[in-house]
């Protein structure tokens, strides 16, 4: 056969199948679609020196070789084994976005929270960083190394010589516009010098803005009391020993936990390392920012209102080691600190540290994993620790350190419960404010003090019902009662944002005496203004704090004394330190107490205790009135005594008896779909798959078994499955919801059973499902 004759089959291997040296560099790449596991790609010779683990790459995917962006998570040299590998098409990033340690953390998260590795990677690297927000591609000018030799052969004008002298003297390349402005010339002589080769140019991505904050007056460290010093020593001991330890700092409200954090961080910085401080988003007030900025030179504050450009700028500063302290909400746990020395989680009990969309991670557990991997201390602080953390401290997994008293010996405020059942039986005037609370407010305000009122329900009326036929005005999408908002006379659903004009008569029977009942923050505001018109009042809730900066401005007005009465939802209950507040009123402590959630009592205790801690922080002392229909409830009684031990002693045996966390691990699965019976049937199928998988997951393997039947030396996973059943909110946004709870004392094998049950799970059309590991939300 002639060599130039066409053949039916290729006999020579494709160029990318052959490697000169017999071995090849292979990159493992996580891609956004297709297989969950990383795919192998050949690294072309032109990219071998540039590609690093942690960079994004452009790779061909599928039969059509569609280009997608993925993350390079591993590089290894392999002998040629005859397998065809597609080549990486190109690099996306100028530098690696993730360190090897951070890649290991993301892989752990994917396994822990049963989600894709790609979902974790995209959550860890902010969108502003991926898109290089705040930067642009610019042409930068500089002089060549042999400028003197080249210029000696050229006839140059005075302007041209001045341009060259200036450009040669500047420390870094600049744009033509910057050069023209500095030398007071047009761009014409600059362009001529470029044509002659006396100025060289390069295209590079440059930053458009800098976001340095204005300097803040420095403050000196405070003198610690004996208990604070013990706490500080406990935190510094593992740091000096260069080992990991988790310290649970349990301090009553006003006990000076923040000062302990600050002095511990000072020691971290003295050793040339960086600290991450996580606080609830709602606590990122100007007061918090200023307190850290007044003690440290370089602080980055990360919060949800940052633009992508600002977030990208902070990320680069942190990654370069230019930032000493990173203060931020949940996602700040991923700050790319190259010299991490400590992580602090303030108000560690806060539910906002748990993300409500994939990856559904808890910042506390991620911080624990990161701190352990990097050998640094983790400090968890709270006046009302989560029962999970409290139990870990009781079993020796954490070290418990207590601050039992307020600083300067100030007493905790007296807490008085007001039994609302007596108000009803005595035919007290209608309204949210009882006679006792009204008198206490009058006394505090007349004495020059300030008042905080907590009601954790927004709107005017929380219930619209016809007294004639009993019909309740509900959301057509969610099957939940609409809330009346008086400002625009609308009935609003707080879950899907459906709204309709507030009805003047019953939509069912047309009766004109429709009743608006229930208390919301709008109605409370109206009542306060009616009873105390001479004192400025401000409402803080999701309806009034929508615009950027509104939260900060409201608190500044209250701090300055312009506002005398501050009322609102739970956003006013935490992290605020106002010495002139002498009265706190909890308008209805029962709002969340009777929800179908095993954590309802714990959340009520935490909320009442935390808001009570907003008063009595100054020399004038303070008082708390808690209005409730169930003053005998152990959570209310323990909060009234500021007694965490009493509450834990009541609640933990109940949890243990029922097999709930912290004595078991919990996975919640939610199925939703537009057709009720289809969603219900799929939920039942999913439950059957979990039961089958649980029988096969045994103790014979570190990952919980391989799915085979247990032998006599192995035992199937000990678990309890509740459901499937309609979720408490059975319909949201036109989708019917069913959920199930799976609990087991063996967290690893529980996750493995759920992983096997959901692997390759194909739901019917329009049916969606989620897995929430360590779920906090039960509704």
| pLDDT score for 425 | 58
Residue 210 has pLDDT above 70, yes or no: no
For residues 768 and 576, the model is more confident at 768
Residue 2 has pLDDT above 50, yes or no: no
For residues 699 and 89, the model is more confident at 89
Average pLDDT over residues 727-756: 94
| pLDDT score for 136 | 73
Q: Dihedrals φ, ψ of 626, to 5°?
A: -115, 115
pLDDT in tens, 586-617: 999 988 888 889 999 999 999 999 888 888 88
Least confident range of 422-426, 586-590, 689-693, 772-776: 422-426
pLDDT in tens, 439-476: 999 999 999 999 999 998 876 667 688 888 888 888 88
Residue 112 has pLDDT above 70, yes or no: yes
Q: Dihedrals φ, ψ of 572, to 5°?
A: -100, 0
For residues 130 and 106, the model is more confident at 106
For residues 193 and 423, the model is more confident at 193
Residue 148 has pLDDT above 80, yes or no: no
Phi-psi region of 82 (alpha: psi -120 to 50; beta: other; left: phi over 0): left
**In the chain, % of residues over pLDDT 70:** 92
Question: CA-CA distance, 387 to 391, in Å (whole number)?
Answer: 6
Contact 196, 152 (CB under 8 A): no
Residue 418's SS3 state is strand
CA distances from 396 to 192, 234, 251, 399, 664 (A): 74, 15, 19, 7, 17
Residue 113 has pLDDT above 50, yes or no: yes
Give the predicted TM-score (pTM) of the model: 0.85
Contact 539, 526 (CB under 8 A): no
Under DSSP, the state recorded for 33 is S
**In the chain, % of residues over pLDDT 90:** 53
Question: CA-CA distance, 49 to 32, in Å (whole number)?
Answer: 25
| pLDDT score for 56 | 95
Q: Bridge-partner residues for 272, per DSSP?
A: none
Q: Bridge-partner residues for 142, per DSSP?
A: 200
* Total residue length of the chain: 779
Residue 521 has pLDDT above 70, yes or no: yes
Q: Which of 92-96, 159-163, 271-275 has the highest mean pLDDT?
A: 271-275
| pLDDT score for 779 | 87
| pLDDT score for 20 | 47
Average pLDDT over residues 55-83: 90
| pLDDT score for 710 | 42
209 band by pLDDT with thresholds 50, 70 and 90:
low
Strand extents, DSSP E, 573-664: 581-586, 623-628
705 band by pLDDT with thresholds 50, 70 and 90:
very low
Q: Which of 202-211, 434-443, 535-544 has the highest mean pLDDT?
A: 434-443
Question: CA-CA distance, 669 to 123, in Å (whole number)?
Answer: 21
Average pLDDT, the chain: 87
| pLDDT score for 60 | 95
Question: CA-CA distance, 440 to 458, in Å (whole number)?
Answer: 24
264 band by pLDDT with thresholds 50, 70 and 90:
very high
Least confident range of 457-466, 580-589, 669-678: 457-466
| pLDDT score for 741 | 96
Q: CB 172: neighbour CB atoms within 10 A?
A: 6
| pLDDT score for 467 | 80
pLDDT in tens, 5-56: 444 334 444 544 444 446 789 999 999 987 788 999 999 998 998 999 999 9
For residues 277 and 178, the model is more confident at 277
Q: Dihedrals φ, ψ of 420, to 5°?
A: -70, -15
| pLDDT score for 208 | 60
| pLDDT score for 699 | 56
Contact 490, 475 (CB under 8 A): no
Question: CA-CA distance, 507 to 472, in Å (whole number)?
Answer: 9
CA distances from 244 to 154, 266, 325, 340, 773 (A): 65, 18, 19, 12, 25
Contact 624, 612 (CB under 8 A): yes
Residue 285 has pLDDT above 80, yes or no: no
pLDDT in tens, 480-507: 888 888 777 888 888 888 888 888 888 8
Average pLDDT over residues 377-384: 97
Residue 516 has pLDDT above 80, yes or no: no
């Amino acid at each position: 056969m002639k060599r130039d004759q066409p053949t039916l089959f290729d006999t020579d291997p494709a160029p990318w199948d052959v490697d000169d040296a017999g071995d090849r560099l292979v990159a493992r790449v996580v891609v956004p679609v297709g297989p969950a596991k990383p795919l192998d790609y050949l690294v072309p010779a032109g990219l071998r020196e540039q590609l690093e683990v942690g960079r994004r790459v452009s790779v061909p995917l599928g039969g059509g070789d569609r280009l997608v962006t993925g993350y390079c998570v591993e590089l290894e040299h392999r002998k040629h084994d005859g397998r065809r590998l597609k080549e990486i098409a190109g690099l996306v990033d100028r530098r690696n976005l993730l360190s090897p340690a951070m890649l290991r953390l993301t892989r752990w998260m994917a396994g822990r929270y049963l989600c894709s590795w790609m979902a974790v990677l995209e959550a860890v690297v902010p969108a502003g960083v991926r898109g290089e927000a705040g930067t642009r591609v610019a042409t930068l000018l500089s002089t060549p190394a042999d400028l003197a030799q080249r210029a000696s052969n050229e006839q140059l004008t005075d302007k041209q010589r001045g341009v060259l002298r200036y450009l040669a003297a500047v420390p870094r390349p600049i744009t033509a516009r910057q050069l023209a402005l500095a030398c007071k010339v047009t761009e014409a002589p600059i362009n001529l010098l470029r044509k002659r080769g006396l100025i060289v140019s390069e295209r590079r991505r440059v930053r458009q803005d800098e976001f340095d904050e204005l300097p803040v007056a420095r403050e000196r460290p405070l003198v610690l009391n004996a208990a604070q010093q013990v706490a500080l020593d406990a935190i510094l001991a593992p740091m000096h020993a260069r080992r990991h330890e988790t310290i649970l700092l349990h301090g009553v409200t006003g006990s000076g936990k923040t000062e302990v954090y600050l002095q511990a961080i000072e020691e971290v910085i003295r050793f040339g390392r960086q600290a991450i401080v996580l606080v609830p988003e709602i606590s990122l007030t100007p007061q918090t920012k200023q307190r850290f900025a007044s003690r440290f030179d370089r602080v980055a504050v990360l919060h949800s209102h940052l633009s992508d450009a600002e977030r990208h700028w902070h990320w680069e500063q942190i990654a370069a080691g230019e930032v000493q302290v990173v203060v931020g909400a949940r996602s700040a746990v991923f700050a790319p600190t190259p010299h991490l020395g400590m992580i602090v989680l303030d108000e560690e009990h806060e539910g906002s540290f748990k993300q409500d969309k994939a990856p559904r991670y808890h910042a506390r557990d991620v911080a624990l994993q990161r701190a352990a991997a990097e050998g640094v201390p983790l400090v968890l602080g709270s006046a009302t620790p989560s029962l999970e953390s409290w139990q870990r401290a009781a079993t020796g997994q954490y070290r418990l350190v207590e601050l039992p008293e307020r600083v300067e010996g100030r007493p905790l405020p007296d807490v008085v419960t007001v039994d609302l059942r007596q108000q009803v039986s005595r035919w007290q005037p209608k309204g949210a404010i009882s006679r006792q609370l009204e008198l206490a407010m009058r006394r505090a305000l007349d004495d020059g003090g300030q008042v905080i009122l907590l009601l954790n329900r927004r709107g005017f009326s929380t219930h619209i019902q016809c007294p004639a036929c009993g019909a309740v005005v509900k959301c057509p999408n969610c099957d939940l009662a609409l809330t009346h908002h008086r400002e625009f006379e609308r009935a609003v659903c707080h879950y899907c944002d459906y709204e309709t004009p507030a009805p003047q008569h019953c939509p069912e029977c047309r009766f004109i005496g429709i009743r608006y009942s229930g208390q919301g923050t709008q109605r409370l505001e109206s009542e306060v203004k009616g009873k105390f018109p001479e004192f400025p009042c401000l409402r803080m809730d999701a309806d009034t704090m929508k615009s950027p900066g509104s939260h900060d401005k409201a608190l500044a007005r209250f701090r300055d004394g312009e506002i005398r009465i501050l009322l609102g939802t739970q956003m006013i209950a935490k992290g605020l330190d106002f010495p002139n507040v002498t009265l706190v009123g909890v308008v209805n402590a029962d709002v969340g107490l009777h929800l179908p959630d095993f954590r309802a009592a714990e959340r009520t205790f935490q909320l009442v205790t935390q808001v009570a801690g907003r008063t009595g922080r100054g020399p004038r002392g303070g008082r708390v009135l808690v209005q409730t229909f169930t003053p005998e409830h152990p959570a209310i009684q323990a909060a009234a005594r500021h007694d965490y031990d009493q509450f834990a002693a009541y609640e933990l045996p109940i949890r243990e008896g029922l097999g709930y966390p912290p004595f078991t691990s919990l996975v919640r699965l939610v199925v939703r779909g537009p057709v009720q019976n289809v969603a219900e049937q799929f939920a039942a199928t999913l439950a059957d798959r979990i039961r089958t998988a649980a029988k096969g997951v045994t103790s014979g393997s570190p990952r919980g078994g391989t799915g085979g039947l247990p032998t006599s030396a192995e035992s199937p996973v000990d678990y309890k499955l509740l459901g499937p059943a309609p979720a408490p909110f059975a319909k949201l946004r036109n989708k019917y919801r069913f959920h199930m709870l799976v609990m087991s004392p063996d967290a690893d094998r529980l996750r493995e059973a759920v992983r096997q049950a959901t692997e390759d799970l194909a739901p019917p059309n329009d049916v969606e499902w989620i897995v929430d590991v360590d779920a906090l939300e039960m509704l």
